[in-house]
Chain A
């Protein structure tokens, strides 16, 4: 049980939590009159059985990676960015807006430009809570939550006022800004797989490099851990708080671009939040706030969500059960404290 503590805990706790989450999910299925073995077999097949579902899983995990990175980055530098959802929405809109402009541009310019615009939009959205925190000590959890609602309504208003096309949505973006790929679609049996995953992986590498290899990352982490010692060391604490939010927001904005340029190619008037931003919190938590962990956790959540569709059609188990499983996994990770405690108890009783 000591594997649950120390340096292995970042791996063992999530793995154990996933196992426990699936187990509890199975019990709930049993109680509700479903056969968990049939259901999980269908879920598993729904993730791996053919190239189509594999492609869909990768598509699903792409924005999850970036929103998870956004949460993890802020967390590593001592901040709680609950506003990923809003930053994602403004990023989505910005990417679609750029995608609608500049007809005839090369994709090698147009796509990066559109993703950059999404990142900048998300960064600006996160800048506001960062500034309020740095200057007036307003807690970022409150302000980022508020900014989510502002984003939702502002984005909808802009679409309705300036960009509306039939069907409560914008026009389709130009081909040159699109991440969609006939090639990727053809090798995955016409899933909606697009090139976004490349950018998501690049994002993970950027986060890792920035945090652990640069002097800026050193400052950001120092401020996150101890702002007094940082001040003593001559680090500009306020600037770093703002920078942390801005970088986090840029990741979130890029997550929006994955939807805008990849999966959809347009943006609809949003009746509600997408949920991807909030899922980012769970992804980050399960991934122990590390870049690699976020990618793996996003793959798991993406897979579960896609597999759930098969589980419903084959085993008639409602997709909501997968939501419960995900919730249970998060519950167990969050209560890793509880797991530690239980393992301690076991240790003590087991030994003299």
Chain B
């Protein structure tokens, strides 16, 4: 068998950590090869080695049978290797074409020949089915489109081995479908693809073979046709993974959260939440299902005090907390796992320890008369790191240095530790691997079983169906239906989320 890429026994160390240890990866011509592993397993590191961004300590790389020494990305480019990074590297103010030709500009008499370039970009995008407007500005196009620009960039440079680093993490379900079509098209045009992901569904759907790494160590390569999601998950995590969330039937008691006829305007002064009613009882998880942009963010912001309401009431344990300041809401028993962990959830330049007391730093025992007590802060952080299995070198590591899953665990640790009566979890598992997802779901259920109220907001129907005790469907700023997970289907939810009506009679609430 001829391999277009062979990485043999690669080892890459960072100060204090072995990110890749003895990993072998072989890419056949014309295949989509999955690279699977938990957050922080070393997938990006391995691909950065292949792309010439890092130099390995040990190991060999062969491209089309020839031993190569890829010391910088230009060499990777010359070898026909292109990479679409996890975080896009585009110039916001430039047009699609300008971004694609950046560093490789076609010139005519010393001037950039943009017309020529636009034609070429259009030709490539036709050939591979990557529809984009070559003249649009990057800042004006969607994330999915920006990703296409990144792909086009590699194709424009003549890549025929493409590396995608978690391309689906940032995409909507519809965009994911389109990306899958694009990848298949690329293969039919003779390209080979390495796809980094931790979504097992996608691997089963598009990949031919799959290489698994766990905590930096290569576990093995399997044929996708001869495996199943359960086996892949246990290869990745190193133990059996429970997909169907295990929980007892709920035993709800009195109302903890009551939202009545709530109206909240978005930043453009359009009512995003428009007469919404919802309640969450003690000992139950209510999941809000809905397409992004139907008022979910504004609803959370209004409950947590981050956004003023226009009218209506928010009651927490019978107290009217409408338009209270965030700290007062927090202190009256609310925990909040925010949707955007980098923007709201963490101060990335603070240490993990400092982040662990973000909601409590001003209170005893963490500070006294305005003086911080670092001994208690460090002890608290250490115990939370242990209890919630946050993988970090130490509590003084900056939050920025942790993987997404561990950042999220730190936030959850902080919020749950305060033992709030109401826990709002907004997209708590976005971008995380199955191990972390399982952990977070079990924590939410644990809180419920302690008699807390949990409000879960998610765009993933799987998650809503598996974790919630009741599902409220949000559409255009209103709750349009409340259903029990065991009495509905994903199809029905999908219909309701799109503004359709429930078919069965007598079930509206």
Which A residues contact B (CB, under 8 angstroms)?
Answer: 6, 213-219, 221-222, 225-226, 228-235, 348, 351-352
Contacts and interface: CB of A to CB of B under 8 A. Distances in A.
A234 B329 CA distance: 9
Contacts of B72: 348
B372 interface: yes
B52 to A, nearest CB: 10
B222 interface: no
Contacts of B354: 218
Contacts of A218: 354, 361-362, 372
Interface stretch (B36-44, B290-298, B338-346, B500-508): B338-346
Q: Give 5 closest A-B pairs by Cβ, nearest first.
A: A234-B327, A232-B344, A234-B326, A215-B367, A225-B349
A230 B347 contact: yes
A239 to B, nearest CB: 12
A233 B371 contact: no
Contacts of B55: 348, 351-352
A352 B59 CA distance: 12
Nearest to A218: B361
- Most-contacted residue by chain A among B72, B354, B358, B367 (CB, 10 A): B358
B306 A232 contact: yes
A222 B71 contact: no
A217 B304 CA distance: 25
26 contacts: A215-B361, A215-B367, A215-B370, A218-B361, A218-B372, A219-B362, A222-B358, A225-B347, A225-B348, A225-B349, A226-B343, A226-B347, A226-B349, A228-B343, A229-B343, A229-B345, A229-B358, A233-B327, A233-B359, A234-B326, A234-B327, A234-B330, A348-B71, A348-B72, A351-B55, A352-B69
Interface in B39-73: 55, 69, 71-72
Interface residues of B, dominant DSSP: loop
A229 B399 CA distance: 13
B359 to A, nearest CB: 6
Contacts of A216: 370
B319 interface: no
A234 B359 contact: yes
The bracket for how many chain B residues form the interface is 20 to 34
Contacts of A222: 347, 350, 358
A351 to B, nearest CB: 6
A229 B454 CA distance: 22
A137 to B, nearest CB: 14
B494 to A, nearest CB: 32
Contacts of B361: 215, 218
A266 B362 CA distance: 43
Contacts of A6: 15
B126 interface: no
B470 interface: no
Given A222-B358, A348-B72, A232 B370 contact: no
B301 to A, nearest CB: 10
B325 interface: yes
Contacts of B347: 222, 225-226, 229-230
B372 A226 contact: no
Contacts of A213: 371-372
A226 B345 CA distance: 10
Nearest to A212: B372
B372 A215 contact: yes
Contacts of A234: 325-328, 330, 359
Contacts of A226: 343, 346-349
Interface string B124-165: 000000000000000000000000000000000000000000
Contacts of A217: 372
B336 interface: yes
- Most-contacted residue by chain B among A216, A226, A234 (CB, 10 A): A234
Contacts of B327: 233-235
Contact of A233 (B328, B349, B358, B367): B358
Given A215-B370, A216-B370, 6 more contacts: A215-B362, A219-B362, A222-B358, A226-B343, A226-B349, A234-B359
B490 to A, nearest CB: 32
Nearest to A347: B55
Contacts of B69: 352
A39 to B, nearest CB: 42
Contacts of B343: 226, 228-229
Interface in B309-349: 325-328, 330, 336, 338, 343-349
A235 B367 CA distance: 15
A347 to B, nearest CB: 9
Nearest to A348: B71
Nearest to A216: B370
Contact of A214 (B325, B328, B336, B371): B371
Contacts of B370: 214-216
Given A213-B372, A214-B372, A231 B306 contact: yes
Contact of B344 (A229, A348, A351): A229
B452 to A, nearest CB: 20
A234 B214 CA distance: 39
Contacts of B15: 6
A213 B368 CA distance: 11
Contact of B345 (A214, A215, A232): A232
B326 A231 contact: yes
B295 to A, nearest CB: 19
A217 B330 CA distance: 21
Nearest to B359: A233
Contacts of B350: 221-222, 225
B336 A232 contact: yes
Nearest to A235: B327
Contacts of B71: 348, 352
B408 to A, nearest CB: 14
A105 B372 CA distance: 38
A69 to B, nearest CB: 20
- Most-contacted residue by chain A among B15, B325, B328, B370 (CB, 10 A): B370
Contacts of B328: 234
Contacts of A229: 343-347, 358
Nearest to B414: A233
A219 B372 CA distance: 11
A216 B361 CA distance: 10
A215 B371 contact: yes
Contacts of B349: 225-226
A76 to B, nearest CB: 11
A229 B345 CA distance: 6
B348 A232 contact: no
Interface string B386-398: 0000000000000
Nearest to B52: A348
- Most-contacted residue by chain B among A214, A217, A219, A228 (CB, 10 A): A228
- Most-contacted residue by chain B among A213, A215, A232, A348 (CB, 10 A): A232
A284 B150 CA distance: 40
Nearest to A209: B371
B286 to A, nearest CB: 22
B446 to A, nearest CB: 24
B363 to A, nearest CB: 9
A331 to B, nearest CB: 26
Nearest to A232: B344
B338 to A, nearest CB: 6
